[in-house]
Amino acid sequence: MPNKPLGHRNGYINREVLHGDVSDGNTFFLIEDFKPESAVPSPPDHAREDWTPLRHGMTGDWGSAADCRNAGEKERLRRTVSLYILSGK
Amino acid sequence: MVIKDCWDLSESSCDHVIHEKLQDPTRDPRFQDFLKNPNNPDSLGDASADSLHSDKLVAGALVEPDFVQAFITPDGLNPWDGVKFLRGITIMESYMQPMLKGRDVVESIQSISSYMMAPDADCWDESDEAPLENRYRHRTLFSTCGVDILWFSTARELFHGIAGAIIGEGSGSRYFFTNFS
């Protein structure tokens, strides 16, 4: 999960690309494969009571991002969060 | 592997164009600084500011391709190398634009509708408002698989995520507001 904002940070600071929709719909937990045991990991044998998966987070759907080196693209990027968040619901 | 199949508004504004930029280490300002002044250790920036990938790794890998291998520490499921693939960003493997069968034309609403209609039919009148919104088909292949962030397993994992998000957004937004406010 800390990788999620880190992905945005890396995209903007290290590539000058700003994402156009920072929302839960574009935030993912990284999994190894499309298998039930990857999507919902089980505790290992003899796991401690406070065990938790702590999976990596990542940002997807970069198609809505803007190249900040391109003034026109940056201008067109009118929002960086989803419309749902802007609506205040 | 994940395939994303989209109908985009333009041929140039799509996932693969952005991902090529995201996976281009030469866009990294630290690398540009390094090229300008390779002998100055300060030009590599402060690696401690982002402990998850090193500035030296970026510069070193571009100067000497094998350099990166010595620094990557596999931790099980970690597809990012910190140089080409930055942590927290989905990794694009390849992309394509499907072509119309038997024709050397990319798939778009315009090309498909023209193909389906009779040659003399006025299906796409350029002089008037287009009857259909034109869109272009793009397919992008990603090597990173993910599940929805709301599928957190335990309360501890959720709190860990919130804490990390606050710290991460803090470092990102400080830079943003310093430069654009």
The answer to whether residue A38 neighbours chain B at the CB level (below 8 Å) is yes
Q: What is the pLDDT of residues B70-126, one digit of tens each?
A: 344 334 577 888 788 888 888 999 998 888 887 788 888 888 887 777 655 555 555
The answer to whether residue B1 neighbours chain A at the CB level (below 8 Å) is no
Question: Can you give the pLDDT at residue A88?
Answer: 63
A75 contacts: CB under 8 Å, gap ≥ 6: none
Which residues of A fall within a CB distance of 8 Å from B13?
63
- Confidence band of B175 (pLDDT split at 50, 70, 90): very low
Q: Given an 8 Å threshold on Cβ–Cβ distance, is A67 in contact with B21?
A: yes
First to last CA, chain B: 40
Nearest-CB residue to B6 (from A38, A60, A63): A63
Q: Is the predicted pLDDT of residue A26 greater than 50, yes or no? A: yes
- Confidence band of B178 (pLDDT split at 50, 70, 90): very low
Residues A20 and B18: their CA atoms lie apart, in Å, by 12
Residues A38 and A32: their CA atoms lie apart, in Å, by 6
Taking a C-beta distance cutoff of 8 angstroms, is the pair A65, A18 a contact? yes
Amino acid at B120: D
> Phi and psi at residue B22, in whole multiples of 5°?
-65, -25
A7 to chain B, minimum CA–CA distance in Å?
Answer: 4
B25 to chain A, minimum CA–CA distance in Å?
Answer: 8
